Amino acid sequence: MRVAVRGISFSYDSVSALADVSLEVEEAEILSIVGPNGSGKSTLLKCVDKILRPSLGVILIDGRDTGKIGAKELARRMGYIPQSSSNNLPLTVFDTVLMGRRPQLSWGVGDRDITMVCRALKLMGMEDSALRPFNELSGGERQKVLIARALAQEPEVLLLDEPTSNLDLRHQLEVLEILTDLVRRRGVSSIMAMHDLYLAWRYSDKMVMLNHGRVFAAGEPGSVLTEENIRSVYGVDVVVTQNSRGLHIEPVRPVKD
């Protein structure tokens, strides 16, 4: 077992954001977290990454409580990709991706650090933009650089908060194919929050559906994305069909209160 979240709860002041949430993801697996806005997806990822501290519960990596793992070791083992970056420093794309190597550095930047940065930029198709200022990039370009930064880190666990945000359809598919290949080849454990239910179904081994900070459904993606579950959680009547061509979710109408 690589990552286990057991019964975590978290509140913003007195407002509950997560309540008794549990999940598990193994090596070389992708688990998607789905749910409507405000359901707790981003908060859950931040708790796993120790950006936020749960009030209850425990998070384990290979059986070790992350609360007892040092910050530098955890940073080496876990990569986090936010929805967006507020970085307004005059850094180049190359230097931004190089920041992902910080947990690996013992002194100065070495040959392997440069190699991993170049490899990550090439993988994301951003090598020609290496010397461009990060804060002058488009939203989609920034997202690809943030993913490259996490890949350069060589993490064992990869947390992704809407990794396809700001990307057009072609680049959404390209990024998810790259991430899936990385997870399979390197044995990475990945947890990603997703809005697009079809992409979540297509690129996930497991799925957790959140509603008001609680686990509403969990399991194989096809068993989670049912008409009943989507109606209850998203408040929308849908028709779900699944065949050899994949999963199709057709919205019909909002559910009346």
What is the domain-level CATH number for residue 20? 3.40.50.300
Backbone angles phi, psi at 25, to 5 degrees: -140, 135
**How many domains would you assign to the chain?**
1
pLDDT of res. 85: 66
Question: Does residue 43 belong to any structural domain of this protein?
Answer: yes
Question: Does residue 104 belong to any structural domain of this protein?
Answer: no
Q: Running DSSP on this structure, what letter comes out for residue 155?
A: -
Cβ pair 201, 169 in contact under 8 A: no
Question: Does residue 251 belong to any structural domain of this protein?
Answer: no
Global pTM? 0.91
Q: If you count them, how many residues does the chain have?
A: 257
Question: Does residue 109 belong to any structural domain of this protein?
Answer: no
β pairing state of 30-34 and 206-211: parallel
Cβ pair 149, 181 in contact under 8 A: no
pLDDT of res. 244: 80
pLDDT of res. 109: 85
Cβ pair 62, 132 in contact under 8 A: no
pLDDT of res. 106: 63
pLDDT (tens digit, 0 to 9) for every residue of the chain, 257 residues total? Answer: 589 999 999 999 989 999 999 999 999 999 999 999 999 999 999 999 999 999 999 999 999 999 999 888 898 899 999 887 666 678 999 999 998 888 776 667 888 899 999 999 999 999 999 999 998 988 888 889 989 998 999 999 999 999 998 889 998 999 999 999 999 999 999 999 999 999 999 999 999 999 999 999 999 999 999 999 999 999 999 999 988 888 999 999 999 87
| CA 159 – CA 190 distance, rounded (Å) | 6
Residue among 39, 74, 72, 37 at smallest CA distance from 59: 74
Question: Does residue 12 belong to any structural domain of this protein?
Answer: yes
Question: Does residue 146 belong to any structural domain of this protein?
Answer: no
Name the token pair of 13.
């002041």
Question: Does residue 176 belong to any structural domain of this protein?
Answer: yes
187-199 CB burial, b ≥16 within 10 A, e <16: ebbbbbbbebbeb
Cβ pair 152, 120 in contact under 8 A: yes
Which positions ≥6 away from 245 have C-beta within 8 Å? none
Let me know if 246 is exposed, middle or buried by CB neighbors in 10 A (0-12, 13-18, 19+).
Answer: exposed
CA 57 remoteness from chain centre: 21
pLDDT of res. 257: 72
Domain of residue 221, residue span: 3-86+155-225
Question: Does residue 94 belong to any structural domain of this protein?
Answer: no
